[in-house]
């Protein structure tokens, strides 16, 4: 298991390095210039060039990438092009807000999805099962922004239950934060549950056709008790893996959801930085999202191996 862990860690580091290179050089290809955007059209070429020189973007791209990469190894994310401030403190508060939003959505989505998937398997081929399958398929095929705007229209505009903008500030109490988190969390829960529900149902249904399950049912045990006591422990490997993978997809969906609700998280910071052409902030945010996605995928892989001993050995 330690060898497998070491291999996965090495692969993860390589993928993060590849992601850093892709993000940096893709940012170099973006049109526009931060100095012209910041100083305005009335700025002289000399002023624009002086600002570019003060931010260090006049050096060759490869030299700047190697300098940025060296800073990453020291925990330095660089400086913002628009205001010259260090990026790490700028991101710290936004990262905390994003973790709050993602954590709240995951705490609701995971037990809800596993529970609905289990119920769908117990009542398979009945009305409840068919309704869950149809709803999950519709959810998978519908983008996050549709559910976000529908939630705003229903709960904020028509019912006036919660605000449509989720601007939270430092030191805000949980009671004041709760209604502001309602719509972003609802959107993320809806969009992240579908795959987990379908995978949970499929895993349980496949095991319920086993001989030992049939024997337990012939003994007179209720079907729900057989599922909880005998089936669920044997399907935890694929369910755990798909849960973690969907948490990785949830991280990607955060960018869209935060932008729609003006939530002050990493996704909103990334969108704002794109509009300002502050490429260094975009690259830092993108790298954090990419590293999180890679880490969650690696955890899903390791969970599948840990919960299924047959995967630890080569065939």
Q: Which residue ranges make up each domain of the chain?
A: 97-279
Angular region, 70: left φ>0, alpha ψ -120 to 50, beta rest: alpha
pLDDT of 89-136, one tens digit each? 888 888 889 989 999 999 999 999 989 988 888 888 899 999 999 998
Whole-number pLDDT of residue 313 = 57
As a whole number of angstroms, the longest Cα–Cα distance in the chain is 87
Mean pLDDT check: name the lowest of 71-75, 205-209, 268-272: 205-209
Give the helix ranges, DSSP H, for the chain: 2-29, 34-39, 45-55, 61-73, 87-122, 127-141, 144-151, 174-208, 211-218, 223-226, 236-261, 266-276, 279-307
Question: Residue 112's pLDDT is what?
Answer: 93
pLDDT at 241 over 90: no
Phi, psi dihedral angles at 163 (to 5 degrees): -70, 155
Compute the half-sphere exposure of residue 28: CA atoms within 13 Å on the CB side of its CA.
14
Q: Kindly report, residue by residue over 164-175, the tens digit of the pLDDT.
A: 888 888 778 888
Is the pLDDT at 161 greater than 80, yes or no?
yes
Give me the mean pLDDT over the 51-70 stretch. Answer: 84
Short-list 33, 237, 232, CA closest to 122: 232
Contacts of 90 (CB under 8 A, 6+ apart): 80, 269, 281
Beta bridge partners of 79: 86
Which distant-in-sequence residues (6+ apart) come within 8 Å of 13 by Cβ? Answer: none
CA atoms within 13 A on the CB side of 114: 20
Nearest-angstrom CA–CA distance, 92 and 95: 5
Kindly give, in sequence order, each residue whose CB lies less than 8 Å from that of residue 66, ignoring residues fewer than 6 positions away.
none
Q: Are 191 and 144 in contact (CB under 8 A)?
A: yes
The whole-number average pLDDT for the span 174-179 is 87
pLDDT at 76: 86
Helices (H), 30-60: 34-39, 45-55
- Asked if residue 87 lies in contact with residue 78, where contact means CB atoms within 8 angstroms, the answer is yes
Burial of residue 125, with CB atoms counted within 10 A of its CB: 0-12 exposed, 13-18 middle, 19 or more buried: exposed
- Domain 97-279 CATH class label: mainly alpha
Q: 242-280 pLDDT, tens per residue? A: 788 788 778 778 888 998 998 998 888 888 888 888 888
Residue 34 has pLDDT above 80, yes or no: no
- Residue-level pLDDT at 312: 58
Pick 211 or 189 by higher pLDDT.
Answer: 189
- Of 298, 300, 304, the closest CA to residue 237 belongs to 304
Cα angle 27-32-36, degrees, rounded to a multiple of 5: 125
Q: Is the dihedral of CA 229, 234, 235, 240 positive or negative?
A: positive
Interval 199-218 mean pLDDT: 82
pLDDT of residue 1: 66
Share of the chain above pLDDT 90, in %: 17
């Amino acid at each position: 298991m330690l060898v497998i862990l070491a291999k996965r860690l090495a692969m993860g580091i390589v993928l993060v390095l590849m992601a850093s290179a892709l993000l940096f050089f893709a940012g170099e290809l973006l049109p526009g210039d931060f100095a012209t955007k910041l100083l305005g059209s009335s700025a002289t070429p000399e002023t624009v060039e002086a600002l570019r020189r003060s931010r260090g973007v006049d050096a060759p791209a490869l030299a700047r990438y190697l300098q940025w990469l060296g800073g990453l190894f020291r925990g330095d994310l660089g400086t913002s092009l628009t205001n010259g401030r260090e990026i790490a403190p700028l991101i710290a508060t936004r990262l905390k807000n994003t973790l709050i939003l993602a954590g709240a959505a995951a705490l609701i989505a995971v037990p809800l999805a596993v529970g609905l998937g289990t119920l769908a398997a117990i009542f398979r081929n009945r009305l409840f099962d068919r309704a869950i399958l149809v709803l999950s398929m519709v959810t998978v095929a519908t983008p996050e922004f549709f559910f976000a705007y529908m939630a705003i229209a229903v709960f904020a505009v028509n019912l006036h239950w919660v605000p449509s903008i989720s601007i939270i500030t430092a030191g805000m109490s949980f009671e004041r934060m709760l209604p502001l988190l309602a719509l972003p969390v609802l959107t993320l829960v809806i969009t992240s549950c579908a795959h987990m529900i379908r995978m949970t149902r499929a895993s349980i249904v496949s095991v319920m056709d086993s001989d030992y399950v049939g024997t337990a049912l012939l003994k007179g045990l209720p079907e729900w008790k057989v599922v909880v006591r005998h089936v669920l422990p044997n399907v935890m490997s694929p369910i755990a893996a798909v849960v973690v993978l969907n948490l990785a997809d949830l991280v990607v969906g955060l960018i869209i959801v935060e932008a729609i609700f003006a939530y002050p998280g990493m996704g909103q910071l990334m969108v704002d930085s794109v509009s300002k052409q502050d490429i260094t902030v975009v690259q830092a945010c993108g790298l954090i999202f990419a590293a999180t996605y890679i880490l969650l995928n690696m955890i899903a892989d390791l969970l599948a191996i840990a919960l299924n001993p047959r995967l630890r050995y080569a065939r």
